[in-house]
Structure 1
């Protein structure tokens, strides 16, 4: 079988030839593209990481001077590579209004079972998630248990089948059937999707119950450090990983309360939790009602994304865009670990930003640009819940339907030679074939996610684009190692325990800058092939994301 993509210029004709089943295909991109790719430079990647992760930037927290210093550096580099501003009002930036909402210390809740009312201890038995709109919330209603709260007809699963929850508050436990593919499970478990699904079935509130009988008896406070949302110019939340205006209240209770409610309904938690894990819904009404309320505090933060454009060469297709994204923010200054309180974020995600700068450099050295235009987007607030990318994907500075794909780079983990990769999310769309072709060109293999339990697909900015119907992926390391043991993921797990989201993630840690160069080249090539294909990337037929 042959698939042909005609690229800009005869010298750049791309022919993808499939060999035996499962074999990768290798594109012939032409000498000009190959030469431009070779201009990516490992020393420049090191230099960018060194600057962005310097102590003087104080962890690049959104709204603080260190983030502005990082932004100034990035914009200066993009200007040097001939990238044009593509933010708001002809500038480089897009305003992102962040609101941090703290769980207040004041709250109350009562539970009525079979006519008997008792208080729940606020802060131990129940919490109400912070609301960025209302400083005080309260609600009450009859309860029903709705399993995982999932409806995924493509996967043949519906916790709401046969259950009437109109006007009720649903109690659900966080998880997904074990048969769900990892990215499908992560998507189904998303807090916003769970609330949206509950509201679609008529529920007015959602309570997340701990489903682990071995969990600590004191419930973790979901808003102790504050939860973030993005507000529009009218002060309405438009992006959040926890707030959904379609329900009046989102709460959390511990396992003790779940067991109490189950007992009232004559149910055994061990039985129904085992059933839903096996993919057999076991939902039921609960002869109980709840009343609860809480108050919250706000802190507003002025954030922004950085947006640059490399204009395409085709008169028509240049009005469509391939996005290369990476988050510029990190955690700022926090709890000291081994005497260090600055969370520098060298790998997370100064390395990803450095990779995007090298992609811009490659395009600068490519005389004939691809057919479609390229957007270089450095987003804010990824560490706060993919907020900057969520705002850009829903309120882009170009027409939203003009964005055909997103290639995201977040903590590529450049700590060992890059011999194989995992393309998180690519399996849902035609992008998987593009990744195969680009990896073959680079002499790399493509592998399944070695750590599906990490839910990495929904934990970075590519997910924001997916939620708005834009095929997206995130390239991570594979398992291959030079010694043939192919156990890189084991090494990464040990590395992550020491460095991830810790002050120790600075320039003095473990790095393989040549691997960083290969990451930049691979991500460039993926985007370049998409930018030259006359056909836009498409979702796989029947895929869970097809109709987003």
Structure 2
């Protein structure tokens, strides 16, 4: 699970309770589905996790031999199940070209009569599409960098940002909430908005002296399109924006010298939900250089053909990321990041789902795609590439059901369905959960912002409804504090070498989690109505032509 994005999340409301009451009277499952569910195996689930988290795979970092072992393993498992290859050129693979960009030493930033110190006053993000950049331009301050007049707020209203360097704050805007806030404050959206208003550079400003500048020593990774241009990046949206960087709170104060409004009044206005954009005095000159390392990695894609002569040309995706962090800084003497929970358990779920579909004599109406992605830990890159350049017609993908680190450390009694509230998938989730005796709850950790931090969000931004099932809060002892247990687990294991097979697991919970995802996917694949965005839903309006 990637921590690349972090914003407040939203949870479910009373709608799920109402849906659960309706689902309580649902008809029992047909015998063939009950038979398929009964064949899910905790032992098989564990075996997949054990292989993928083995030291031989060296943490499954994209572009390494260890990641290739993971690709070969999941491809082999799908082949044994007679799953059809759905990658490129008749294979299970979709090539994903990754470019890691580094900022070269010697970058400079200055204004007339003043120069600033790299690493102390500013840092430049590496530019994956332009190895050298030299820029002199006026400077403007554009608040949060949000332009959403339909929501009654626009930092760019009345501000001329054309041909200028835009300075922004990463404070949380108090006037937006929910999906609107998630989208508007995402860094990629902020950069795209700046580009739309003509900016040639963007500087992200700290507001507190204690806030450190980003550590970019490991570089940033982007994905190249088939034509070798940058297709997906977290720091690059177009050649127009030549420089993206971060500046300290101290440098921000210096940039405001001579401005019509000082920082105290400016940020007081922003905290009150009022735009406070303005020109800043003088110009800035920036010089930056980037260098690149490129590797090839792969998504793995398999298909189970549907049974309906028409609907078989539509697809329900079961996704999970195959990569992890490789070898890194030692923790308690161990530097190999095995990624057992994150995300060998998710991959195991998809493989067990594939086995269940393969055993069905009568397949669901729609086809099912099994997609194991690369580069999730680098910023959702493999899923973003697949969602943008799928190996089937994009318009025919009806839903994504993503599986990322279900955190199976205790019996699974309830679930949180991240993102389901945006679409008709909400009712499908409640129906499937009720069939398995599970309840659906509101997100117990909304501040973790989990909906836009995993691969399902890549599908959402391409207009495809998506859901990501996580653990709920119910516990067998009635204390209903599983989220507290997970937080303690996370402090010890998450993104650490200790996330290996010696950790805490409940593989029976993994079995039930895989059953739930299978049943959900089967329902969506069998339903003659394709999933729809809810009327007025923000993501539906923004990406899916929703009303």
Q: What is the TM-score with the length of structure 2 in the denominator?
A: 0.92
Question: Shift of the alpha carbon at 1:275?
Answer: 3.5
Q: Which residue of 1 aligns with 2:96?
A: 96
Question: Shift of the alpha carbon at 1:263?
Answer: 4.3
Distance of 1:105 and 1:472 partners within structure 2 = 42
Q: Which residue of 2 aligns with 1:538?
A: 532
The residue matched to 1:504 in structure 2 has which SS?
coil
Distance of 2:177 and 2:415 partners within structure 1 = 19
Task: Evaluate the alpha carbon distance shift between residue 329 and residue 24 of structure 1 in structure 2; reply closer, same or farther with a 3 A threshold.
Answer: farther
Distance of 1:19 and 1:329 partners within structure 2 = 36
CA contact (8 A) 1:175 1:189 kept: no
Q: Which residue of 2 aligns with 1:60?
A: 60
1:222-237 matches, within 5 Å, as: 223-237=216-230
CA contact (8 A) 1:170 1:207 kept: yes
Question: Shift of the alpha carbon at 1:288?
Answer: 2.9
The residue matched to 1:329 in structure 2 has which SS?
coil
Equivalent of 1:122 in 118, 121, 146: 118
Question: Shift of the alpha carbon at 1:279?
Answer: 2.8
Equivalent of 1:23 in 18, 21, 24: 21
Greater displacement, 337-346 / 233-242: 233-242
The residue matched to 1:354 in structure 2 has which SS?
helix
Is 1:172 paired with 2:168? yes
Task: Evaluate the alpha carbon distance shift between residue 383 and residue 138 of structure 1 in structure 2; reply closer, same or farther with a 3 A threshold.
Answer: same
Question: Shift of the alpha carbon at 1:19?
Answer: 9.4
Equivalent of 1:138 in 134, 137, 155: 134
Task: Evaluate the alpha carbon distance shift between residue 517 and residue 152 of structure 1 in structure 2; reply closer, same or farther with a 3 A threshold.
Answer: farther
Distance of 1:474 and 1:175 partners within structure 2 = 27
Q: Which residue of 1 aligns with 2:317?
A: 323
Task: Evaluate the alpha carbon distance shift between residue 429 and residue 179 of structure 1 in structure 2; reply closer, same or farther with a 3 A threshold.
Answer: farther
Question: Shift of the alpha carbon at 1:24?
Answer: 5.0
Equivalent of 1:310 in 301, 304, 313: 304
Q: Which residue of 2 aligns with 1:83?
A: 83
The residue matched to 2:376 in structure 1 has which SS?
coil
Q: Which residue of 2 aligns with 1:441?
A: 435
Q: Which residue of 1 aligns with 2:200?
A: 204
Distance of 1:184 and 1:477 partners within structure 2 = 25
Deviations 1:300-346 (A, max 9, x none): 11111100000001101100000000010111111111111110000
Greater displacement, 159-168 / 67-76: 159-168
CA contact (8 A) 2:315 2:366 kept: yes
Is 1:468 paired with 2:462? yes
Q: Which residue of 2 aligns with 1:190?
A: 186
Is 1:480 paired with 2:467? no
Question: Shift of the alpha carbon at 1:161?
Answer: 2.3
CA contact (8 A) 2:71 2:298 kept: no
Is 1:44 paired with 2:38? no
The residue matched to 2:23 in structure 1 has which SS?
coil
Which blocks of at least 5 consecutive residues in structure 2 are unaligned?
A: 1-15
Task: Evaluate the alpha carbon distance shift between residue 322 and residue 154 of structure 1 in structure 2; reply closer, same or farther with a 3 A threshold.
Answer: farther
Deviations 1:260-300 (A, max 9, x none): 23343243434433443443322222123211111122111
Equivalent of 2:361 in 363, 367, 370: 367
CA contact (8 A) 2:19 2:427 kept: no
Question: Shift of the alpha carbon at 1:419?
Answer: 1.4
Task: Evaluate the alpha carbon distance shift between residue 152 and residue 515 of structure 1 in structure 2; reply closer, same or farther with a 3 A threshold.
Answer: farther
Task: Evaluate the alpha carbon distance shift between residue 214 and residue 271 of structure 1 in structure 2; reply closer, same or farther with a 3 A threshold.
Answer: farther
Distance of 2:363 and 2:171 partners within structure 1 = 45
Is 1:516 paired with 2:514? no
Q: Which residue of 2 aligns with 1:9?
A: none
Deviations 1:16-50 (A, max 9, x none): xx996763515433121121112111111111111
Is 1:243 paired with 2:239? no
Deviations 1:215-258 (A, max 9, x none): 24xx233x310111111233211111221114222111111122
Question: Shift of the alpha carbon at 1:189?
Answer: 2.0
CA contact (8 A) 2:243 2:288 kept: no
1:397-408 matches, within 5 Å, as: 397-408=391-402
Distance of 1:468 and 1:454 partners within structure 2 = 23
Task: Evaluate the alpha carbon distance shift between residue 203 and residue 533 of structure 1 in structure 2; reply closer, same or farther with a 3 A threshold.
Answer: same
Greater displacement, 79-88 / 170-179: 170-179
Is 1:151 paired with 2:147? yes
Question: Shift of the alpha carbon at 1:534?
Answer: 1.7
Task: Evaluate the alpha carbon distance shift between residue 476 and residue 272 of structure 1 in structure 2; reply closer, same or farther with a 3 A threshold.
Answer: farther
Distance of 2:433 and 2:449 partners within structure 1 = 23
CA contact (8 A) 1:182 1:455 kept: no
Distance of 1:359 and 1:278 partners within structure 2 = 49
Aligned-pair RMSD on alpha carbons? 1.8
Task: Evaluate the alpha carbon distance shift between residue 252 and residue 481 of structure 1 in structure 2; reply closer, same or farther with a 3 A threshold.
Answer: same
Q: Which residue of 2 aligns with 1:276?
A: 270
CA contact (8 A) 1:183 1:425 kept: no
Deviations 1:498-543 (A, max 9, x none): 1011000001101111111111111112211111222221222222
CA contact (8 A) 1:150 1:188 kept: yes
Deviations 1:26-77 (A, max 9, x none): 5433121121112111111111111100111100111111111111111111
Is 1:454 paired with 2:452? no
Q: Which residue of 1 aligns with 2:111?
A: 111
Deviations 1:421-459 (A, max 9, x none): 111111222211211211122222222222222222121
CA contact (8 A) 2:195 2:237 kept: no
Task: Evaluate the alpha carbon distance shift between residue 275 and residue 536 of structure 1 in structure 2; reply closer, same or farther with a 3 A threshold.
Answer: farther
